[in-house]
């Protein structure tokens, strides 16, 4: 079971970041839990397409994702 994403303003938030391998300034970031699980059903249609694209492009044009705390 996937942990729900934090909802409160005082809770710690995380995002899953995919960085560009060829262009370090480009990439994708998606809200996730502390373990890096993205609630794909909570994403918009465009967000879902971008998430699936980013996962498919790991190792070719994007790096493996990392979980980062959002300030």
In order of 4, 23, 60, the CA distances from 40 in angstroms are 11, 26, 22
Q: Is 49 exposed, middle or buried (0-12, 13-18, 19+ CB in 10 A)?
A: exposed
In percent, the amount of the chain with pLDDT more than 70 equals 87
pTM, two decimals, is 0.81
| Alpha-carbon torsion, ordered 5, 67, 52, 55, to 10 deg | -160
Separation of alpha carbons 48 and 53, rounded Å: 8
**Where residue 5 falls among pLDDT bands split at 50, 70, 90?**
low
């Amino acid at each position: 079971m996937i942990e729900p994403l934090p909802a409160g303003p005082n809770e710690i938030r995380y995002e899953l970041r995919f960085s560009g391998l060829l262009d370090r300034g480009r990439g994708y970031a998606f809200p996730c839990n502390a373990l890096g699980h993205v609630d794909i059903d909570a994403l918009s249609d465009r967000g879902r397409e971008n998430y699936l694209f980013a996962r498919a492009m790991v190792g070719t044009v994007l790096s493996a994702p990392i979980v980062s705390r959002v300030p």
